[in-house]
Amino acid sequence: MEYPKVLIAIPVYKHSALVIEALESALNQKTDFSVEILLVIDGCPFPETFEVARDFQFTYKDKIHYIVRKNGGLSAARNTAINYLLQRPSLEALYFLDADNRLQPTSTQTAFTTLIREMSD
């Protein structure tokens, strides 16, 4: 089994429709390493958000996970993702993706390669 190296964390609050596109862009990353995706549902009042998270997690069991938390704002949601990352020794880096944004297919590869290169200089 290939262990994930990068966590793409997506905080979600009131972006039920847009989060699908964000998830698809995260799933379509072209990398030479494994990527894990974490949705942090930050007290979102829309039931569709939970349905999207549940459906994607069911379809991509080993790749997508989600956490539901009481609304605390974007910083609290990001801190939840950081705490998740710290409990997973196979994860080496974290990329935050807002639920209303998209990634180009090589974004994660480029960012991780640059990070590793800069750390070794």
User: What is the pLDDT at residue 3?
Assistant: 62
Q: What is the CATH number of the domain that holds 86?
A: 3.90.550.10
Percentage with pLDDT > 70 across the chain: 97
Question: pTM value?
Answer: 0.93
Q: Per residue in 88-100, pLDDT tens?
A: 988 999 999 999 9
State the residue range of the domain holding 91.
4-120
Phi, psi of 71 (to 5 degrees): -60, 125
Phi, psi of 50 (to 5 degrees): -65, -40
Total domains, the chain: 1
Band (23; pLDDT cuts 50, 70, 90): very high
CB 41 within 8 A of CB 56: no
Q: Are strands 93-96 and 64-69 parallel, antiparallel or unpaired?
A: unpaired
Per DSSP, the residues of 6-38 read EEEEEEESS-HHHHHHHHHHHHT---SSEEEEE
pLDDT(1) > 60: no
